[in-house]
Amino acid sequence: MQLVLEKRAERSTTIALISPLIAIGLTIVTLCVVFAVLGKNPIAALAVYFIDPLTDGYSLQEIAVKATPLVMIAIGLSLCYLANAWNIGAEGQFLIGAVAGSWLAVKTQGTDAGNWVLPAMLALGAVAGALYALIPAICKVRFGASEILTSLMLVYVADLLLDYLVRGPWRDPQGFNFPTTAEFDPVATVPTLIEGGRLHLGSIIALFVVAAGAVLLGRTIKGFEIRVVGAAPRAARFGGFNANQLVLLTFAISGALAGLAGIIEVAGPVGHLQPGISPGYGFTAIIVAFLGRLNPIGILIAGLFLALTFIGGEQAQIAMKIPLDVTKVFQGILLFYVLACDSLILYRFRLISTSPKVQSGAH
């Protein structure tokens, strides 16, 4: 007897619906094993990870704050992945957006610049992110260079550029030599929604992005083209869709959203530019995009879930001394299970007999 994979006649809609849930279930089981190996009580650890953050208002706000960049970046990435364009450098576009927007905040610091500063910063962040994402896109459509490798290399470059700026020209003179800019002026800061709270305007913008993504994919011709180019490239060619143009478009949109997320993060929760503004949002957003099945509403839910793991991970470190790296392991395992479960939408397992005699007897 042998277990083989075979293609289903039609994609299974049941599995398509429940596969993210199976994946999360399997990940939690695996996580219990990891906790047990680390010598922690799995049940107590799971409670700290997934239940405790949901029980107090501060943590709930913090989940929304963390989900904001994840969802915004993942919506853009989902467009790329649907069009079969592999932008994996969202982390770099996020950082460049943060740098470009911060430039204006640093330049207008201490002047009596008006309320135009923040909108201009957000626009700068989005434009810079889009331009930065267009580098790998142009390298791909014009020269045929792998966008996977070039977009990833640019993450390291963006990281070093940010490091240079906050240690050199933009360093706060009153900052005791810490690598950071001065705290942004109030006109250069994303306003919070609740007095004294953490929830900020960025979360509302993220919801708009989700809605816009849903409209683009479900209600417009461009969205249709994006999906066809990825799913059936030959059909797209016959339909006269310009695949190269769609690569440029999806990269530009995802870069703009990542850049916007970057400047919102810096001008919002962080308040100044410094190294380490991102705990890997650009990479975690890849997981969010896949867990959300490349669907805007799914991405919103997946983004909130992964934000929960960030907060849960921090609390588990404080309360139970569980290393922060467990969160990364968790996210990696989750992506594996999501991909594996997705495979079962198109394929199924079947036990076949390897003995030829039995096979001919069956017919």
Partner 1 sequence: MGLIEAIILSVLAASTPLLLAATGELVTERSGVLNLGVEGMMIVGAACGFGGAWLSGSIIVGALCGIVAGILMSLIFALMALGLAVNQVATGLALTILGIGLSGLIGAGFVGERIAPAPHLHIPGLSDLPLAGRVLFGEDGFVYLSIALVVCVWWFLYRTRTGLILRACGDNHTSAHALGYPVLRIRLYAVMFGGACAGLAGAYLPLAYTPFFIPGMTAGRGWIALALTVFASWRPARLVVGAYLFGAVTILQLHAQGAGIGIPSQFMSSLPYLATIIVLVLLSRARTGGSTAPAALGTVFVPDR
d(CA 226, CA 2): 39
Q: How far is the CB of 335 from partner 1 (least distance, A)?
A: 4
Cβ neighbors of 216 (< 8 A, separation 6 or more) are 79, 222, 223
Quickly list H helices, 83-220.
90-107, 117-143, 147-167, 201-219
From the list 107, 119, 95, the residue with the least C-alpha distance to 190 is: 119
Stretch that binds partner 1, among 183-191, 237-245, 259-267, 337-345 (CB under 8 A): 337-345
Decide if 222 contacts 150 (C-beta within 8 A). Answer: no
Q: How far is the CB of 242 from partner 1 (least distance, A)?
A: 20
333 makes contact with partner 1 (CB under 8 A): yes
329 makes contact with partner 1 (CB under 8 A): yes
List, in sequence order, every residue forming a beta bridge with 352; answer none if it has no partner: 2
Stretch that binds partner 1, among 200-208, 228-236, 285-293, 295-303 (CB under 8 A): 285-293
**Nearest CB to partner 1, comparing residues 44 and 340:** 340
Q: How far is the CB of 84 from partner 1 (least distance, A)?
A: 9
**Nearest CB to partner 1, comparing residues 201 and 246:** 246
Q: How far is the CB of 114 from partner 1 (least distance, A)?
A: 34
Q: How far is the CB of 122 from partner 1 (least distance, A)?
A: 26
Q: How far is the CB of 209 from partner 1 (least distance, A)?
A: 23
308 makes contact with partner 1 (CB under 8 A): no
Distances (CA, A) of 316 to 51, 61, 209, 228: 11, 18, 31, 43
Applying the rule CB under 8 A, the residues between 84 and 123 that interact with partner 1 are 86, 88
d(CA 83, CA 97): 23
Direct distance between the N- and C-terminal alpha carbons of the chain, in angstroms, rounded to an integer? 17
Distances (CA, A) of 134 to 93, 103, 222, 354: 10, 21, 18, 52
- With b for 16 or more beta-carbon neighbours within 10 A and e for fewer, the 198-222 pattern comes to bbbbbbebbeebbeebbebbeeeeb
Q: Which residue type sits at 288?
A: V
From the list 280, 330, 333, 302, the residue with the least C-alpha distance to 49 is: 330
d(CA 141, CA 43): 51
Stretch that binds partner 1, among 71-79, 110-118, 125-133, 282-290 (CB under 8 A): 282-290
Residues binding partner 1: number (CB under 8 A): 51
Indicate which single residue of 283, 308, 309, 310 sits in contact with partner 1 (rule: CB under 8 A): 283
Indicate which single residue of 60, 113, 339, 348 sits in contact with partner 1 (rule: CB under 8 A): 339
**Nearest CB to partner 1, comparing residues 49 and 268:** 49
**Nearest CB to partner 1, comparing residues 47 and 139:** 139
Q: What is the largest CA-CA distance in the chain?
A: 89
Task: Dig out the tokens for 50 from the structure.
Answer: 């997934």
**Nearest CB to partner 1, comparing residues 204 and 329:** 329
Applying the rule CB under 8 A, the residues between 155 and 174 that interact with partner 1 are 156-157, 160-161, 163-164, 167-168
Q: Which residue type sits at 11?
A: R
Decide if 161 contacts 99 (C-beta within 8 A). Answer: yes
- Stretch 137-156: interaction string toward partner 1, x if CB under 8 A: --x---xxxx-xxx-xxx-x
Indicate which single residue of 229, 287, 307, 308 sits in contact with partner 1 (rule: CB under 8 A): 287
Which residues bind to partner 1, rule: CB under 8 A?
4-7, 86, 88, 135, 139, 143-146, 148-150, 152-154, 156-157, 160-161, 163-164, 167-168, 283, 286-287, 290, 323-333, 335-336, 339-340, 342-344, 346-347, 352
